Structure 1
């Protein structure tokens, strides 16, 4: 069985698109949540989850404090929240077993 050749126009378009992503500085980092979702954190621990936009966090979870929301795996706030959490009153505290700052 003979394979179909990929037209050179398609290859050129794919190469151009890939170059465009690299040239414009688009991030290839892993997002904390997918499109249409936002991250939430576990109260009193370092757990996290993603919740669909328009829905409230499930019991035991809260939104991250404003301005301290992780956007990508390994970013400043993702690392910070590995050592911190919030208590039931919303106060930022050292996480159990975390070294804190």
Structure 2
């Protein structure tokens, strides 16, 4: 006749300390994301693709993206150094909504729209 060995509960019980800590951390992270709606993680759209640069319309506020291997077409110029918009609605994108370059390359205010 076989007599089963007595097995202690502590030897078969899962390691609840680590499991509870991991579960609590995961639940906390999920709760933070759910409550904040991923606040702080803002998507910013680039003005142009990686192999392009933006060019400004002379006398206007329009712009186009030009291949890095080409010069801007007639009626467009490169933005002044240090004042090139990188993402939609960044500092320089908003600035160039109310400013432009004249035929001499001078920065001027855009007249108010009628």
Which of these residues, 83, 87, 90, is aligned with residue 98 of structure 2? 83
Deviation at 1:28, TM superposition (A): 2.8
Matched, 1:46 2:61: yes
Give the aligned length. 74
**1:10: which partner in 2?**
none
Contact 1:32 1:72 in 2 (8 A): yes
Q: Please tell me the root mean square deviation across aligned C-alpha atoms, in Å.
A: 1.7
Q: Which has the larger share of helix?
A: 2
Pick the structure with greater CA Rg: 2
Matched, 1:70 2:85: yes
Matched, 1:61 2:76: yes
**2:32: which partner in 1?**
none
Once superposed, which parts of structure 1, at least 4 consecutive aligned residues long, lie more than 6 Å away? none
Output the TM-score relative to the length of structure 2. 0.61
**1:18: which partner in 2?**
none
- Classify 1:61/1:78 alpha carbon distance in 2 versus 1 (closer, same or farther; 3 Å): same
Which of these residues, 90, 96, 101, is aligned with residue 111 of structure 2? 96
Deviation at 1:95, TM superposition (A): 1.1
- Classify 1:26/1:36 alpha carbon distance in 2 versus 1 (closer, same or farther; 3 Å): farther
